[in-house]
Chains A and B, each alone.
Chain A
Amino acid sequence: MGYFLFRRTISFVLTLLAVSVVVFAVMNILPGDPALSILGLDATEDALAALREELGLNEPVLSRYLHWIAGAVQGDFGISQSFRVPVSELIAERLPLTVSLAISGMVVTVILAVALGVAAAANHGKAGDWGIMFLSQLGIAVPAFWLSILLVLLFAVKLRWLPPGGFPGWSEPAAAVRSLILPTVALALVQSAVLARVTRSSALEVMRLDYIRTARAMGFSRRRVLWRHVLPNALIPIVTIVGLQFAALVTGTIVIENVFYLPGLGRLIFQSIANRDLPTVQALVMLFAAIVVTANFIVDLLYLAIDPRLKARS
Protein backbone atom coordinates (compact mmCIF):
# COMPACT_ATOMS: atom_id res chain seq x y z
CA MET A 1 0.00 0.00 0.00
CA GLY A 2 2.82 2.34 0.87
CA TYR A 3 4.48 1.57 -2.43
CA PHE A 4 1.27 2.23 -4.34
CA LEU A 5 0.85 5.57 -2.59
CA PHE A 6 4.45 6.49 -3.25
CA ARG A 7 4.25 5.66 -6.94
CA ARG A 8 1.00 7.51 -7.43
CA THR A 9 2.31 10.57 -5.62
CA ILE A 10 5.44 10.67 -7.75
CA SER A 11 3.45 10.29 -10.94
CA PHE A 12 1.04 13.01 -9.74
CA VAL A 13 3.87 15.49 -9.17
CA LEU A 14 5.51 14.61 -12.50
CA THR A 15 2.24 15.06 -14.35
CA LEU A 16 1.73 18.46 -12.73
CA LEU A 17 5.22 19.46 -13.79
CA ALA A 18 4.66 18.27 -17.35
CA VAL A 19 1.38 20.15 -17.49
CA SER A 20 3.09 23.31 -16.33
CA VAL A 21 5.72 22.91 -19.05
CA VAL A 22 3.02 22.56 -21.70
CA VAL A 23 1.13 25.61 -20.41
CA PHE A 24 4.30 27.67 -20.22
CA ALA A 25 5.47 26.60 -23.64
CA VAL A 26 2.18 27.32 -25.37
CA MET A 27 1.81 30.72 -23.70
CA ASN A 28 5.41 31.89 -23.89
CA ILE A 29 7.32 30.14 -26.65
CA LEU A 30 4.59 29.57 -29.25
CA PRO A 31 3.73 33.26 -29.74
CA GLY A 32 7.39 34.19 -30.26
CA ASP A 33 7.05 37.51 -28.52
CA PRO A 34 4.37 37.60 -25.79
CA ALA A 35 4.76 41.37 -25.51
CA LEU A 36 3.71 41.68 -29.14
CA SER A 37 0.77 39.34 -28.51
CA ILE A 38 -0.38 41.47 -25.63
CA LEU A 39 0.05 44.91 -27.14
CA GLY A 40 -0.74 44.09 -30.74
CA LEU A 41 1.06 44.91 -33.96
CA ASP A 42 0.64 48.68 -33.75
CA ALA A 43 2.48 49.00 -30.42
CA THR A 44 5.45 51.28 -30.22
CA GLU A 45 8.93 49.86 -29.80
CA ASP A 46 9.28 51.67 -26.45
CA ALA A 47 6.09 50.20 -25.07
CA LEU A 48 7.16 46.74 -26.21
CA ALA A 49 10.54 47.11 -24.57
CA ALA A 50 8.96 48.29 -21.34
CA LEU A 51 6.55 45.37 -21.26
CA ARG A 52 9.33 42.91 -22.07
CA GLU A 53 11.21 44.28 -19.13
CA GLU A 54 8.17 44.05 -16.86
CA LEU A 55 7.39 40.47 -17.89
CA GLY A 56 11.04 39.50 -17.55
CA LEU A 57 11.15 38.49 -21.19
CA ASN A 58 14.76 39.49 -21.54
CA GLU A 59 15.82 36.64 -19.33
CA PRO A 60 16.45 33.17 -20.82
CA VAL A 61 13.39 30.93 -21.22
CA LEU A 62 14.46 28.41 -18.60
CA SER A 63 14.93 30.97 -15.86
CA ARG A 64 11.59 32.56 -16.77
CA TYR A 65 9.90 29.16 -16.42
CA LEU A 66 11.60 28.47 -13.10
CA HIS A 67 10.66 31.90 -11.86
CA TRP A 68 7.04 31.38 -12.86
CA ILE A 69 6.78 27.90 -11.35
CA ALA A 70 8.53 28.92 -8.13
CA GLY A 71 6.09 31.80 -7.76
CA ALA A 72 3.08 29.64 -8.66
CA VAL A 73 3.92 27.13 -5.94
CA GLN A 74 3.76 29.98 -3.43
CA GLY A 75 0.53 31.32 -4.95
CA ASP A 76 2.24 34.16 -6.81
CA PHE A 77 1.16 34.27 -10.44
CA GLY A 78 2.49 37.71 -11.27
CA ILE A 79 0.59 40.88 -12.04
CA SER A 80 -2.51 40.96 -14.23
CA GLN A 81 -1.90 43.03 -17.37
CA SER A 82 -5.43 44.35 -17.55
CA PHE A 83 -6.47 44.69 -13.90
CA ARG A 84 -3.08 45.84 -12.66
CA VAL A 85 -3.41 43.80 -9.47
CA PRO A 86 -1.78 40.49 -8.53
CA VAL A 87 -3.40 37.58 -10.40
CA SER A 88 -3.67 35.73 -7.09
CA GLU A 89 -5.99 38.46 -5.77
CA LEU A 90 -8.23 38.14 -8.82
CA ILE A 91 -8.35 34.40 -8.32
CA ALA A 92 -9.02 34.61 -4.58
CA GLU A 93 -11.94 36.96 -5.19
CA ARG A 94 -13.63 34.68 -7.72
CA LEU A 95 -12.64 31.23 -6.48
CA PRO A 96 -15.50 30.78 -3.94
CA LEU A 97 -18.16 31.18 -6.61
CA THR A 98 -16.51 28.76 -9.04
CA VAL A 99 -15.84 26.19 -6.32
CA SER A 100 -19.43 26.45 -5.04
CA LEU A 101 -20.79 25.92 -8.52
CA ALA A 102 -18.46 23.01 -9.27
CA ILE A 103 -19.14 21.25 -5.96
CA SER A 104 -22.89 21.72 -6.00
CA GLY A 105 -22.89 20.60 -9.62
CA MET A 106 -20.87 17.49 -8.81
CA VAL A 107 -22.96 16.56 -5.79
CA VAL A 108 -26.24 16.88 -7.67
CA THR A 109 -24.68 14.98 -10.59
CA VAL A 110 -23.61 12.04 -8.46
CA ILE A 111 -26.91 11.81 -6.57
CA LEU A 112 -28.95 12.04 -9.74
CA ALA A 113 -26.74 9.69 -11.75
CA VAL A 114 -26.46 6.98 -9.10
CA ALA A 115 -30.18 7.07 -8.37
CA LEU A 116 -31.11 6.90 -12.06
CA GLY A 117 -28.43 4.36 -12.95
CA VAL A 118 -29.32 1.98 -10.13
CA ALA A 119 -33.04 2.39 -10.87
CA ALA A 120 -32.40 1.55 -14.52
CA ALA A 121 -30.31 -1.50 -13.62
CA ALA A 122 -32.94 -2.71 -11.14
CA ASN A 123 -35.57 -2.51 -13.90
CA HIS A 124 -33.28 -3.95 -16.55
CA GLY A 125 -35.08 -4.40 -19.86
CA LYS A 126 -38.31 -2.84 -18.63
CA ALA A 127 -39.92 0.46 -19.54
CA GLY A 128 -38.20 2.38 -16.74
CA ASP A 129 -34.79 1.22 -17.95
CA TRP A 130 -35.54 2.24 -21.53
CA GLY A 131 -36.86 5.62 -20.41
CA ILE A 132 -33.81 6.41 -18.33
CA MET A 133 -31.44 5.25 -21.05
CA PHE A 134 -33.27 7.32 -23.65
CA LEU A 135 -33.02 10.42 -21.48
CA SER A 136 -29.34 9.83 -20.83
CA GLN A 137 -28.62 9.27 -24.53
CA LEU A 138 -30.36 12.57 -25.19
CA GLY A 139 -28.53 14.24 -22.29
CA ILE A 140 -25.17 13.29 -23.78
CA ALA A 141 -26.10 15.02 -27.03
CA VAL A 142 -27.46 18.22 -25.46
CA PRO A 143 -24.83 20.96 -25.09
CA ALA A 144 -24.75 22.42 -21.58
CA PHE A 145 -25.02 25.96 -22.86
CA TRP A 146 -28.13 25.21 -24.88
CA LEU A 147 -29.76 23.44 -21.96
CA SER A 148 -28.93 26.52 -19.87
CA ILE A 149 -30.59 28.78 -22.41
CA LEU A 150 -33.68 26.57 -22.44
CA LEU A 151 -33.81 26.59 -18.63
CA VAL A 152 -33.51 30.38 -18.62
CA LEU A 153 -36.23 30.64 -21.27
CA LEU A 154 -38.56 28.53 -19.15
CA PHE A 155 -37.78 29.50 -15.56
CA ALA A 156 -36.60 33.08 -15.96
CA VAL A 157 -38.21 34.48 -19.09
CA LYS A 158 -41.53 32.63 -19.05
CA LEU A 159 -42.23 31.64 -15.43
CA ARG A 160 -40.06 34.33 -13.81
CA TRP A 161 -39.25 32.05 -10.88
CA LEU A 162 -35.50 32.47 -10.96
CA PRO A 163 -33.07 35.10 -12.20
CA PRO A 164 -31.79 34.65 -15.77
CA GLY A 165 -28.20 35.26 -14.73
CA GLY A 166 -25.84 37.43 -12.78
CA PHE A 167 -24.75 37.07 -9.18
CA PRO A 168 -25.68 39.41 -6.32
CA GLY A 169 -22.66 38.53 -4.16
CA TRP A 170 -22.42 36.46 -0.98
CA SER A 171 -23.69 39.31 1.20
CA GLU A 172 -27.19 38.29 0.16
CA PRO A 173 -27.11 34.53 0.79
CA ALA A 174 -30.68 33.75 -0.27
CA ALA A 175 -30.39 35.62 -3.55
CA ALA A 176 -26.93 34.12 -4.12
CA VAL A 177 -28.29 30.60 -3.73
CA ARG A 178 -31.26 31.38 -5.98
CA SER A 179 -28.97 32.59 -8.71
CA LEU A 180 -26.94 29.37 -8.50
CA ILE A 181 -29.92 27.02 -8.87
CA LEU A 182 -30.24 27.11 -12.66
CA PRO A 183 -26.47 26.94 -13.28
CA THR A 184 -26.20 23.94 -10.95
CA VAL A 185 -29.12 22.14 -12.59
CA ALA A 186 -27.76 22.81 -16.08
CA LEU A 187 -24.33 21.54 -15.09
CA ALA A 188 -25.66 18.46 -13.31
CA LEU A 189 -28.21 17.35 -15.90
CA VAL A 190 -25.60 17.18 -18.64
CA GLN A 191 -22.92 15.60 -16.46
CA SER A 192 -25.22 12.98 -14.98
CA ALA A 193 -26.21 11.67 -18.40
CA VAL A 194 -22.85 9.96 -18.87
CA LEU A 195 -22.52 8.94 -15.24
CA ALA A 196 -25.99 7.37 -15.12
CA ARG A 197 -25.04 5.09 -18.02
CA VAL A 198 -21.83 4.07 -16.33
CA THR A 199 -23.65 3.42 -13.08
CA ARG A 200 -26.24 1.31 -14.84
CA SER A 201 -23.79 -0.85 -16.78
CA SER A 202 -21.54 -1.21 -13.75
CA ALA A 203 -24.48 -2.24 -11.57
CA LEU A 204 -25.70 -4.69 -14.20
CA GLU A 205 -22.24 -6.20 -14.39
CA VAL A 206 -22.14 -6.69 -10.63
CA MET A 207 -25.69 -8.04 -10.50
CA ARG A 208 -24.64 -10.97 -12.66
CA LEU A 209 -21.93 -12.03 -10.22
CA ASP A 210 -22.12 -15.05 -7.94
CA TYR A 211 -21.95 -13.17 -4.67
CA ILE A 212 -25.10 -11.27 -5.54
CA ARG A 213 -26.82 -14.62 -6.01
CA THR A 214 -25.42 -15.59 -2.61
CA ALA A 215 -26.95 -12.45 -1.10
CA ARG A 216 -30.30 -13.22 -2.69
CA ALA A 217 -30.07 -16.80 -1.44
CA MET A 218 -29.72 -15.35 2.06
CA GLY A 219 -33.23 -13.95 1.75
CA PHE A 220 -32.25 -10.29 1.66
CA SER A 221 -34.74 -7.91 0.12
CA ARG A 222 -34.10 -6.65 -3.39
CA ARG A 223 -33.54 -3.19 -1.99
CA ARG A 224 -30.94 -4.42 0.48
CA VAL A 225 -29.14 -6.46 -2.17
CA LEU A 226 -29.13 -3.47 -4.50
CA TRP A 227 -27.85 -0.83 -2.07
CA ARG A 228 -25.71 -2.89 0.28
CA HIS A 229 -24.20 -5.43 -2.09
CA VAL A 230 -24.49 -4.25 -5.69
CA LEU A 231 -23.82 -0.53 -5.32
CA PRO A 232 -20.64 -0.66 -3.19
CA ASN A 233 -19.11 -3.08 -5.69
CA ALA A 234 -20.32 -1.03 -8.64
CA LEU A 235 -18.69 2.10 -7.23
CA ILE A 236 -15.21 1.47 -8.60
CA PRO A 237 -15.97 2.26 -12.24
CA ILE A 238 -18.32 5.02 -11.08
CA VAL A 239 -15.53 6.70 -9.13
CA THR A 240 -13.23 6.37 -12.15
CA ILE A 241 -15.70 8.18 -14.35
CA VAL A 242 -16.36 10.82 -11.71
CA GLY A 243 -12.61 11.50 -11.75
CA LEU A 244 -12.49 11.61 -15.54
CA GLN A 245 -15.55 13.84 -15.52
CA PHE A 246 -13.65 16.46 -13.56
CA ALA A 247 -12.19 17.59 -16.86
CA ALA A 248 -15.72 17.93 -18.20
CA LEU A 249 -16.82 19.57 -14.96
CA VAL A 250 -14.09 22.19 -15.24
CA THR A 251 -15.07 22.86 -18.85
CA GLY A 252 -18.72 22.86 -17.87
CA THR A 253 -18.15 25.35 -15.07
CA ILE A 254 -16.28 27.73 -17.37
CA VAL A 255 -19.06 27.51 -19.96
CA ILE A 256 -21.91 27.81 -17.46
CA GLU A 257 -20.37 30.85 -15.78
CA ASN A 258 -20.31 32.55 -19.16
CA VAL A 259 -23.88 31.54 -19.95
CA PHE A 260 -25.21 32.90 -16.67
CA TYR A 261 -22.83 35.85 -16.35
CA LEU A 262 -21.47 34.55 -13.05
CA PRO A 263 -18.33 36.42 -11.95
CA GLY A 264 -16.17 33.37 -11.32
CA LEU A 265 -12.89 32.11 -12.72
CA GLY A 266 -14.56 31.05 -15.96
CA ARG A 267 -15.72 34.61 -16.61
CA LEU A 268 -12.33 35.94 -15.62
CA ILE A 269 -10.55 33.74 -18.12
CA PHE A 270 -12.70 35.07 -20.97
CA GLN A 271 -12.29 38.66 -19.88
CA SER A 272 -8.57 38.03 -19.84
CA ILE A 273 -8.60 36.60 -23.35
CA ALA A 274 -10.47 39.66 -24.55
CA ASN A 275 -7.95 41.88 -22.75
CA ARG A 276 -4.97 39.86 -24.01
CA ASP A 277 -3.98 39.44 -20.39
CA LEU A 278 -1.55 36.54 -20.87
CA PRO A 279 -0.28 36.18 -17.28
CA THR A 280 -3.84 35.81 -15.99
CA VAL A 281 -4.84 33.33 -18.70
CA GLN A 282 -1.69 31.34 -18.05
CA ALA A 283 -2.36 31.20 -14.31
CA LEU A 284 -5.98 30.18 -14.77
CA VAL A 285 -5.28 27.50 -17.36
CA MET A 286 -2.61 26.08 -15.06
CA LEU A 287 -5.03 26.17 -12.14
CA PHE A 288 -7.81 24.39 -14.05
CA ALA A 289 -5.44 21.75 -15.43
CA ALA A 290 -4.03 21.24 -11.94
CA ILE A 291 -7.56 20.70 -10.63
CA VAL A 292 -8.14 18.01 -13.26
CA VAL A 293 -4.85 16.26 -12.47
CA THR A 294 -5.47 16.50 -8.73
CA ALA A 295 -8.95 15.07 -9.12
CA ASN A 296 -7.52 12.05 -10.91
CA PHE A 297 -4.96 11.63 -8.17
CA ILE A 298 -7.68 11.70 -5.52
CA VAL A 299 -9.63 9.10 -7.46
CA ASP A 300 -6.61 6.82 -7.33
CA LEU A 301 -6.52 7.24 -3.57
CA LEU A 302 -10.26 6.55 -3.35
CA TYR A 303 -9.74 3.17 -5.00
CA LEU A 304 -7.70 2.17 -2.00
CA ALA A 305 -10.55 3.07 0.30
CA ILE A 306 -13.15 1.23 -1.76
CA ASP A 307 -11.41 -1.92 -2.87
CA PRO A 308 -9.55 -3.94 -0.25
CA ARG A 309 -8.12 -6.20 -2.96
CA LEU A 310 -6.02 -3.34 -4.26
CA LYS A 311 -4.43 -2.81 -0.87
CA ALA A 312 -3.28 -6.41 -0.84
CA ARG A 313 -1.91 -6.33 -4.37
CA SER A 314 0.14 -3.19 -4.05
Chain B
Amino acid sequence: MTRLPPNLVIGAVLVALVAGTAALSLVWTPHDHTLLNIRGKFAPPSELHWLGTDQLGRDVFSQLMVAARNSVAVALISVCLGGVIGVALGLLASAMGGVVEDVIMRIADIGFAFPALLFAIMLAAVFGPSLMVAIIAIAFINIPVFARVTRASANQIWTREYVYAARAAGMGRVVISRDHVLPNIAAPIIVQATIEFAIAILAEAALSYLGLGAQPPAPSWGRMLSEAQTLMYLAPQLAIYPGLCIVTAVLGFSLLGDGLRDITDPRLVRQR
Protein backbone atom coordinates (compact mmCIF):
# COMPACT_ATOMS: atom_id res chain seq x y z
CA MET B 1 0.00 0.00 0.00
CA THR B 2 1.25 3.44 -0.83
CA ARG B 3 1.86 5.89 1.97
CA LEU B 4 -0.92 8.36 2.60
CA PRO B 5 0.04 12.04 2.41
CA PRO B 6 0.58 13.53 5.87
CA ASN B 7 -1.97 16.31 5.36
CA LEU B 8 -4.64 13.67 4.73
CA VAL B 9 -3.79 11.81 7.92
CA ILE B 10 -3.55 14.92 10.12
CA GLY B 11 -6.72 16.35 8.54
CA ALA B 12 -8.64 13.13 9.08
CA VAL B 13 -7.56 12.96 12.73
CA LEU B 14 -8.61 16.58 13.39
CA VAL B 15 -11.92 16.11 11.58
CA ALA B 16 -12.58 12.93 13.54
CA LEU B 17 -11.83 14.83 16.75
CA VAL B 18 -14.25 17.65 15.90
CA ALA B 19 -16.97 15.39 14.53
CA GLY B 20 -16.57 12.99 17.46
CA THR B 21 -16.90 15.84 19.94
CA ALA B 22 -19.96 17.15 18.14
CA ALA B 23 -21.57 13.70 18.17
CA LEU B 24 -20.66 13.08 21.80
CA SER B 25 -22.26 16.38 22.85
CA LEU B 26 -25.60 14.96 21.74
CA VAL B 27 -25.53 12.38 24.50
CA TRP B 28 -23.03 13.65 27.04
CA THR B 29 -21.35 16.86 28.22
CA PRO B 30 -19.52 17.26 31.53
CA HIS B 31 -22.14 19.79 32.63
CA ASP B 32 -25.39 21.20 31.34
CA HIS B 33 -24.02 23.95 29.12
CA THR B 34 -26.91 26.29 29.94
CA LEU B 35 -26.63 25.92 33.70
CA LEU B 36 -25.99 29.33 35.27
CA ASN B 37 -23.97 29.78 38.44
CA ILE B 38 -23.41 33.48 39.06
CA ARG B 39 -21.39 32.83 42.19
CA GLY B 40 -19.03 30.55 40.32
CA LYS B 41 -18.33 32.87 37.44
CA PHE B 42 -14.85 33.22 35.85
CA ALA B 43 -13.73 30.07 37.64
CA PRO B 44 -10.24 28.93 36.61
CA PRO B 45 -9.80 25.45 35.11
CA SER B 46 -10.32 22.76 37.72
CA GLU B 47 -11.27 19.11 37.96
CA LEU B 48 -14.89 20.13 38.08
CA HIS B 49 -14.75 22.67 35.24
CA TRP B 50 -11.97 21.53 32.88
CA LEU B 51 -11.66 24.89 31.16
CA GLY B 52 -13.27 26.98 33.90
CA THR B 53 -16.51 28.93 33.68
CA ASP B 54 -17.63 32.05 31.85
CA GLN B 55 -19.12 35.36 32.98
CA LEU B 56 -22.35 33.62 33.96
CA GLY B 57 -20.66 30.66 35.59
CA ARG B 58 -21.49 28.29 32.73
CA ASP B 59 -19.08 25.43 32.05
CA VAL B 60 -16.85 26.52 29.12
CA PHE B 61 -15.89 23.01 28.05
CA SER B 62 -19.52 21.93 27.74
CA GLN B 63 -20.35 25.05 25.78
CA LEU B 64 -17.48 24.39 23.40
CA MET B 65 -18.73 20.85 22.83
CA VAL B 66 -22.26 21.96 22.03
CA ALA B 67 -20.89 24.77 19.85
CA ALA B 68 -18.95 22.15 17.87
CA ARG B 69 -22.23 20.38 17.18
CA ASN B 70 -23.90 23.62 16.05
CA SER B 71 -20.96 24.59 13.91
CA VAL B 72 -20.75 21.21 12.16
CA ALA B 73 -24.52 21.17 11.68
CA VAL B 74 -24.56 24.63 10.07
CA ALA B 75 -21.65 23.73 7.80
CA LEU B 76 -23.21 20.40 6.86
CA ILE B 77 -26.64 21.83 6.02
CA SER B 78 -25.36 24.84 4.11
CA VAL B 79 -22.69 22.99 2.11
CA CYS B 80 -25.14 20.21 1.23
CA LEU B 81 -27.83 22.69 0.24
CA GLY B 82 -25.49 24.84 -1.84
CA GLY B 83 -23.69 21.76 -3.15
CA VAL B 84 -26.81 19.99 -4.40
CA ILE B 85 -28.09 23.08 -6.19
CA GLY B 86 -24.65 23.96 -7.53
CA VAL B 87 -23.90 20.46 -8.79
CA ALA B 88 -27.32 20.25 -10.44
CA LEU B 89 -26.76 23.58 -12.19
CA GLY B 90 -23.24 22.56 -13.23
CA LEU B 91 -24.46 19.25 -14.64
CA LEU B 92 -27.25 21.03 -16.47
CA ALA B 93 -24.88 23.60 -17.92
CA SER B 94 -22.50 20.91 -19.08
CA ALA B 95 -25.22 18.67 -20.50
CA MET B 96 -27.03 21.41 -22.41
CA GLY B 97 -24.08 23.51 -23.55
CA GLY B 98 -24.64 26.58 -25.70
CA VAL B 99 -26.83 29.37 -24.44
CA VAL B 100 -28.04 27.50 -21.34
CA GLU B 101 -24.45 26.90 -20.27
CA ASP B 102 -23.51 30.52 -20.90
CA VAL B 103 -26.45 31.86 -18.93
CA ILE B 104 -25.90 29.55 -15.96
CA MET B 105 -22.21 30.34 -15.77
CA ARG B 106 -22.82 34.08 -16.10
CA ILE B 107 -25.25 33.92 -13.20
CA ALA B 108 -22.68 31.95 -11.26
CA ASP B 109 -20.16 34.73 -11.95
CA ILE B 110 -22.56 37.24 -10.43
CA GLY B 111 -22.79 35.05 -7.34
CA PHE B 112 -19.05 35.53 -6.88
CA ALA B 113 -19.60 39.27 -6.39
CA PHE B 114 -21.35 38.52 -3.09
CA PRO B 115 -19.21 37.31 -0.24
CA ALA B 116 -21.27 35.32 2.28
CA LEU B 117 -21.10 38.25 4.68
CA LEU B 118 -22.76 40.70 2.26
CA PHE B 119 -25.52 38.25 1.55
CA ALA B 120 -26.04 37.57 5.24
CA ILE B 121 -26.14 41.33 5.88
CA MET B 122 -28.95 41.77 3.35
CA LEU B 123 -30.95 38.87 4.78
CA ALA B 124 -30.36 40.01 8.36
CA ALA B 125 -31.49 43.52 7.52
CA VAL B 126 -34.72 42.20 6.03
CA PHE B 127 -35.60 39.26 8.29
CA GLY B 128 -33.57 40.02 11.38
CA PRO B 129 -30.44 38.06 12.30
CA SER B 130 -30.82 34.32 12.92
CA LEU B 131 -29.00 31.06 12.41
CA MET B 132 -31.20 30.48 9.37
CA VAL B 133 -29.81 33.66 7.79
CA ALA B 134 -26.28 32.34 8.26
CA ILE B 135 -27.17 28.95 6.78
CA ILE B 136 -28.87 30.45 3.72
CA ALA B 137 -26.06 32.93 3.13
CA ILE B 138 -23.37 30.26 3.30
CA ALA B 139 -25.43 27.90 1.13
CA PHE B 140 -25.91 30.66 -1.40
CA ILE B 141 -22.23 31.38 -1.90
CA ASN B 142 -21.60 27.65 -2.29
CA ILE B 143 -23.87 27.39 -5.33
CA PRO B 144 -21.58 29.12 -7.86
CA VAL B 145 -18.50 27.39 -6.46
CA PHE B 146 -19.99 23.93 -6.98
CA ALA B 147 -21.54 24.91 -10.30
CA ARG B 148 -18.11 25.87 -11.64
CA VAL B 149 -16.27 22.82 -10.40
CA THR B 150 -19.01 20.50 -11.63
CA ARG B 151 -19.22 22.05 -15.06
CA ALA B 152 -15.45 22.06 -15.57
CA SER B 153 -15.15 18.41 -14.56
CA ALA B 154 -18.29 17.34 -16.40
CA ASN B 155 -17.21 18.99 -19.64
CA GLN B 156 -14.19 16.69 -19.71
CA ILE B 157 -16.36 13.62 -19.17
CA TRP B 158 -18.68 14.54 -22.03
CA THR B 159 -15.81 14.06 -24.49
CA ARG B 160 -15.01 10.53 -23.29
CA GLU B 161 -15.55 7.46 -25.42
CA TYR B 162 -18.02 5.83 -23.06
CA VAL B 163 -20.25 8.90 -23.16
CA TYR B 164 -20.20 8.86 -26.94
CA ALA B 165 -21.10 5.19 -26.73
CA ALA B 166 -24.00 5.93 -24.37
CA ARG B 167 -25.24 8.70 -26.66
CA ALA B 168 -24.95 6.43 -29.65
CA ALA B 169 -27.08 3.93 -27.72
CA GLY B 170 -29.78 6.56 -27.53
CA MET B 171 -29.49 7.50 -23.86
CA GLY B 172 -30.82 10.93 -22.92
CA ARG B 173 -28.77 13.73 -21.43
CA VAL B 174 -30.33 13.42 -18.01
CA VAL B 175 -29.65 9.70 -17.82
CA ILE B 176 -26.08 10.15 -19.06
CA SER B 177 -25.51 12.93 -16.57
CA ARG B 178 -26.75 10.75 -13.75
CA ASP B 179 -25.25 7.39 -14.73
CA HIS B 180 -21.99 8.36 -16.41
CA VAL B 181 -21.00 11.94 -15.67
CA LEU B 182 -21.86 12.28 -12.00
CA PRO B 183 -20.08 9.12 -10.79
CA ASN B 184 -16.96 10.13 -12.68
CA ILE B 185 -16.77 13.64 -11.26
CA ALA B 186 -17.54 12.58 -7.70
CA ALA B 187 -13.90 12.90 -6.64
CA PRO B 188 -13.39 16.61 -7.42
CA ILE B 189 -16.83 17.41 -5.97
CA ILE B 190 -16.06 15.63 -2.71
CA VAL B 191 -12.70 17.38 -2.52
CA GLN B 192 -14.42 20.72 -3.09
CA ALA B 193 -17.08 19.92 -0.51
CA THR B 194 -14.45 19.17 2.11
CA ILE B 195 -12.71 22.48 1.44
CA GLU B 196 -16.04 24.34 1.42
CA PHE B 197 -16.80 22.73 4.75
CA ALA B 198 -13.76 24.44 6.20
CA ILE B 199 -14.82 27.75 4.67
CA ALA B 200 -18.36 27.28 5.98
CA ILE B 201 -17.15 26.73 9.55
CA LEU B 202 -15.04 29.87 9.27
CA ALA B 203 -17.97 31.82 7.82
CA GLU B 204 -20.40 30.60 10.48
CA ALA B 205 -17.96 31.65 13.19
CA ALA B 206 -17.54 35.10 11.64
CA LEU B 207 -21.29 35.61 11.18
CA SER B 208 -22.03 34.48 14.71
CA TYR B 209 -19.24 36.71 16.01
CA LEU B 210 -20.88 39.64 14.24
CA GLY B 211 -24.28 38.69 15.60
CA LEU B 212 -25.70 37.54 12.27
CA GLY B 213 -25.67 33.84 13.08
CA ALA B 214 -26.41 31.82 16.19
CA GLN B 215 -28.46 33.81 18.69
CA PRO B 216 -28.23 33.44 22.45
CA PRO B 217 -28.47 31.12 24.24
CA ALA B 218 -27.33 28.70 21.47
CA PRO B 219 -23.57 28.31 22.02
CA SER B 220 -21.38 29.13 19.08
CA TRP B 221 -17.62 29.55 18.93
CA GLY B 222 -17.97 32.87 17.13
CA ARG B 223 -20.48 34.29 19.60
CA MET B 224 -18.46 33.07 22.57
CA LEU B 225 -15.55 35.07 21.16
CA SER B 226 -17.59 38.24 20.75
CA GLU B 227 -18.71 37.95 24.36
CA ALA B 228 -15.19 37.22 25.49
CA GLN B 229 -13.89 40.28 23.68
CA THR B 230 -15.85 42.58 25.98
CA LEU B 231 -14.33 40.78 28.97
CA MET B 232 -10.76 40.86 27.74
CA TYR B 233 -9.38 42.66 30.76
CA LEU B 234 -11.28 40.41 33.20
CA ALA B 235 -10.89 36.98 31.69
CA PRO B 236 -8.56 36.88 28.68
CA GLN B 237 -8.55 33.06 28.73
CA LEU B 238 -12.15 33.00 27.49
CA ALA B 239 -10.95 34.56 24.22
CA ILE B 240 -8.49 31.71 23.63
CA TYR B 241 -10.43 28.42 23.70
CA PRO B 242 -13.16 29.09 21.11
CA GLY B 243 -10.54 30.39 18.68
CA LEU B 244 -8.48 27.23 19.10
CA CYS B 245 -11.61 25.18 18.39
CA ILE B 246 -12.28 27.11 15.16
CA VAL B 247 -8.67 26.71 14.02
CA THR B 248 -8.76 22.97 14.77
CA ALA B 249 -11.96 22.43 12.81
CA VAL B 250 -11.00 24.62 9.84
CA LEU B 251 -7.47 23.24 9.68
CA GLY B 252 -8.82 19.70 9.86
CA PHE B 253 -11.24 20.08 6.96
CA SER B 254 -8.86 22.07 4.76
CA LEU B 255 -6.00 19.59 5.31
CA LEU B 256 -8.37 16.70 4.64
CA GLY B 257 -9.53 18.42 1.44
CA ASP B 258 -5.94 19.02 0.30
CA GLY B 259 -5.04 15.45 1.12
CA LEU B 260 -8.01 14.04 -0.77
CA ARG B 261 -7.10 16.16 -3.76
CA ASP B 262 -3.52 14.92 -3.61
CA ILE B 263 -4.59 11.29 -3.79
CA THR B 264 -7.39 11.74 -6.34
CA ASP B 265 -5.84 14.19 -8.81
CA PRO B 266 -3.18 12.43 -10.87
CA ARG B 267 -1.93 15.72 -12.31
CA LEU B 268 -0.82 16.94 -8.92
CA VAL B 269 0.93 13.74 -8.01
CA ARG B 270 3.21 14.02 -10.98
CA GLN B 271 4.39 17.44 -9.94
CA ARG B 272 5.68 16.28 -6.61
Contact = CB atoms under 8 A, between A and B. Distances in A.
Nearest to A276: B125
A141 B233 contact: no
A204 to B, nearest CB: 8
A158 B254 CA distance: 32
A209 to B, nearest CB: 13
5 contacts: A19-B114, A30-B126, A142-B247, A254-B117, A281-B125
Nearest to A142: B247
Interface of B: 106-107, 109-110, 112-119, 121-127, 129, 198, 202, 205-206, 209-212, 222, 225-226, 228-229, 232-233, 236, 239-240, 242-243, 246-247, 250-251, 254-255
Interface in A18-40: 18-19, 22-23, 26-27, 30-31, 34, 37
A155 B232 CA distance: 12
B228 A149 contact: yes
Interface string A33-68: 010010000000000000000000000000000000
Contacts of B250: 140-143
A272 B125 CA distance: 8
A186 interface: no
A103 interface: no
Nearest to A140: B254
Interface string A124-143: 00000000000001101111
A33 B127 CA distance: 11
A191 to B, nearest CB: 13
Interface of A: 15, 18-19, 22-23, 26-27, 30-31, 34, 37, 137-138, 140-146, 149-150, 152-153, 157, 164, 244, 247-248, 250-251, 254-255, 258-259, 269-270, 272-273, 276-278, 281-282, 284-285, 288-289, 292-293, 296
Contacts of B247: 138, 141-143, 146
Contacts of B113: 15, 19, 247, 289, 292-293, 296
A153 B114 contact: no
B107 to A, nearest CB: 8
Contact of B243 (A18, A150, A288): A150
A282 B123 CA distance: 11
Nearest to B237: A153
Given A15-B110, A18-B110, A255-B206, A149 B239 contact: yes
Given A157-B236, A164-B232, A292-B113, 9 more contacts: A26-B122, A30-B126, A37-B126, A141-B202, A146-B247, A250-B115, A250-B118, A254-B117, A292-B112
A251 B123 contact: no
A27 B115 contact: no
A117 B171 CA distance: 49
A276 B121 CA distance: 11
B79 to A, nearest CB: 17
Given A26-B122, A30-B126, A273-B124, A145 B206 contact: yes
Nearest to B125: A281
A137 B229 contact: no
B89 to A, nearest CB: 16
B117 A149 contact: no
Given A157-B236, A273-B125, A15 B117 contact: no
